[in-house]
């Protein structure tokens, strides 16, 4: 069993760190995991992305063409990855910056006003954590408390005062995802 997640957005949106939080949480909880940032032509256009694969067995390729889940933090990321998500997969859309709906009907879309939530929580840098929370709410890939523990373990001590806000961001993202899925069901 393996889950491939691509986190994509502009440089500066915390794309790589969002992936690392997932990777650390998976590692801390005894799962196999790979994290690899994009390189080469994919870096054109000022977008950054990383691929995280979480599995309960040895992981093969660290890069995949068709991920199970995509966190799209901006419009170019949605345009790029919408066609690539596996059928039945998950598209987590940062609705604050993406002004179009998901066109595909064979994937689950979750719209999260992540920037607004982050700013309401006091720091727009929490946007990525809201989206990670949505991923956790929409899938069972990792437990919420696993991610929170790992965040605490790997965030430098000087940033620990930001932990409550990060936890809140994760929770709010998860809540939106759960509501979306409940409506869809």
Partner 1 sequence: MAEAALRAGCEAYFGYPITPQTELLEHMAARMPELGRAFVQAESEVAAINMVYGAACTGKRVMTSSSSPGVSLMMEGLSYIAGTEVPAVIIDVMRGGPGLGNIAPAQADYHQMVHGGGHGDYKQIVLAPASVQEAIDLTVLAFDLAEKYRSIAVVLADGSLGQMMEPAELPPMQPLKKGAPEWAVTGEPGRPRRQLTSIYLQPEDEETTNIRLLRRWMEIEANEVRYQGYYLEDAEIVLVGFGTSGRVALSAVRQARAEGIRAGLLRPISLSPFPTEAVKAAAQSAKAMLVVEMNAGQMLTDVKLAVQGACPVDFYGRMGGVVPLPDEVLAEIRRLHANPPADLNGHTRAAWLDRLELVRGGN
Return residues touching partner 1 (CB under 8 A).
Answer: 20, 23, 27, 32-37, 39-40, 58-66
**Least distance to partner 1, CB of residue 81, Å:** 14
Q: How many CA atoms lie within 13 A of 170 on its CB side?
A: 21
Locus of tokens 């256009």? 45
CA dihedral 72, 153, 160, 131 (to 10 degrees): 10
- Closer to partner 1 by Cβ: residue 60 or 101: 60
Residue 116 structure tokens? 């607004």
**Least distance to partner 1, CB of residue 153, Å:** 13
Rounded to 5°, angle at Cα 80 from 76 and 82: 110
- Closer to partner 1 by Cβ: residue 29 or 124: 29
**Least distance to partner 1, CB of residue 52, Å:** 9
- Closer to partner 1 by Cβ: residue 61 or 103: 61
Residue 76 structure tokens? 């170019």
What is the DSSP-derived secondary structure letter of residue 61?
A: -
Q: Are the C-beta atoms of residues 23 and 150 closer than 8 Å to each other?
A: no
- Closer to partner 1 by Cβ: residue 27 or 102: 27
**Least distance to partner 1, CB of residue 144, Å:** 21
């Amino acid at each position: 069993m393996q889950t491939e997640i691509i986190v994509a957005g502009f440089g500066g949106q915390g794309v790589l760190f969002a992936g690392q939080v997932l990777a650390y949480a998976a590692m801390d909880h005894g799962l196999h995991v790979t994290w690899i940032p994009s390189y080469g032509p994919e870096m054109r256009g000022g977008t950054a992305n990383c691929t995280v694969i979480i599995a309960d067995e040895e992981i093969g390729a660290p890069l995949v063409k068709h991920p199970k889940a995509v966190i799209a933090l901006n419009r170019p990321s949605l345009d790029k990855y919408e066609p690539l998500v596996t059928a039945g997969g998950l598209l987590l859309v940062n609705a604050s910056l993406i002004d179009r709906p998901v066109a595909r009907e064979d994937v689950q879309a979750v719209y999260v006003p992540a920037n607004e939530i982050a700013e309401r929580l006091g720091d727009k840098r929490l946007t990525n954590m809201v989206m990670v929370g949505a991923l956790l709410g929409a899938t069972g890939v990792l437990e919420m408390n696993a991610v929170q523990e790992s965040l605490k373990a790997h965030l430098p001590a000087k940033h620990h005062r930001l932990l409550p806000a990060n936890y809140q961001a994760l929770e709010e993202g998860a809540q939106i995802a759960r509501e979306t899925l409940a409506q869809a069901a």
